[in-house]
Amino acid sequence: MTDRLEEEIPDGLDGERVDRAVAMLADLSRSAVAKLIGSGAVSVNEAVVDSASRRVVSGDTVTVELPEPVDPRLTPDPEIEFGVAYEDDSLVVIDKPAGLVVHPGAGHGEGTLVHGLLHRYPEIAEVGEPHRPGIVHRLDRGTSGLLVVARTAAAHAGLVEQLAAHEPQRIYRALAWGHPDSDAGTIDAPIGRSARQPTRMTVTDQGRRAVTHYVVDERYDHPRQVALLTCRLETGRTHQIRVHLRAIGHPVVGDRDYDGGRPGLDPGRPFLHAGELRFRHPVSGDPVAAVSPLPADLEETLAGCEIGEDTA
């Protein structure tokens, strides 16, 4: 089923390319118009347009067969697998596997955690933002572990408020390259989008405040010098732990986006796991605590690391 747009070319578009004219008249992107032209959906004076570069003149009649608008609601997907660490009528704490994208975005229109959540918890469709129902915070695709999802509007509002106030305790385990100088520390450095690589983040004076606390749990010397860290987020910026550890010269092992993809040790994804999540229940006010052990792939990587004789 389609909608039809029929417009007369105004004087202001006289001599313009047909793809640009249609984009302006129909409020579409040039790429979308190109697809319409390719499918024979654009006509000028009842003649099908076969070239985007064709020029139109004032008074021409342009006809566009527009596809029916896509239903903005997400389709539940029963095939999406994820763990549940805690749930009640107001919320659920998900144990996300590595490789699963949390919500739809550029390049990920289906197969996300949200699609799976809608199958198991259909009520979240009316909670929060339409494209990311129930979601109040997220984990990167390659990061495994815990995140909380709201099942009601009241829970969503309460959790968002807590996150804005930095109340929840979000604790991660990370394997980092090298040995930090101190056994514990705080990285307080603003994070913003990289001007050179817009899909990545970086430490920048123009960024937002970001604070990560870390403790060194173990130092290994073989097969490479690495350190197992416990990291606690005080703030929750995009890629925060990954960017902060890179900034101090100890990027996350396996993190190819942030200089962590190095020879000698490769878990196949960033060695980063959201292992503990503690917060105040947004309805009852009771404390909620969830724990997720290291998944098998990270345990296997860690099992291959050894402490040197001089540090044992």
Please say whether the beta carbons of 243 and 202 come within 8 A.
yes
> Which token pair is 73?
């609601």
**Does 140 participate in catalysis according to the annotation?**
yes
Burial class (CB in 10 A: 0-12, 13-18, 19+), 247: middle
**CA 54/CA 48 separation, integer angstroms:** 11
> Which token pair is 76?
């539940």
* The one catalytic residue among 19, 95, 140, 255: 140
| CA-closest candidate to residue 254, choices 213, 245, 263 | 263
R_g of the chain, CA atoms, integer Å: 25
Would you name the residues annotated as active-site residues? 140
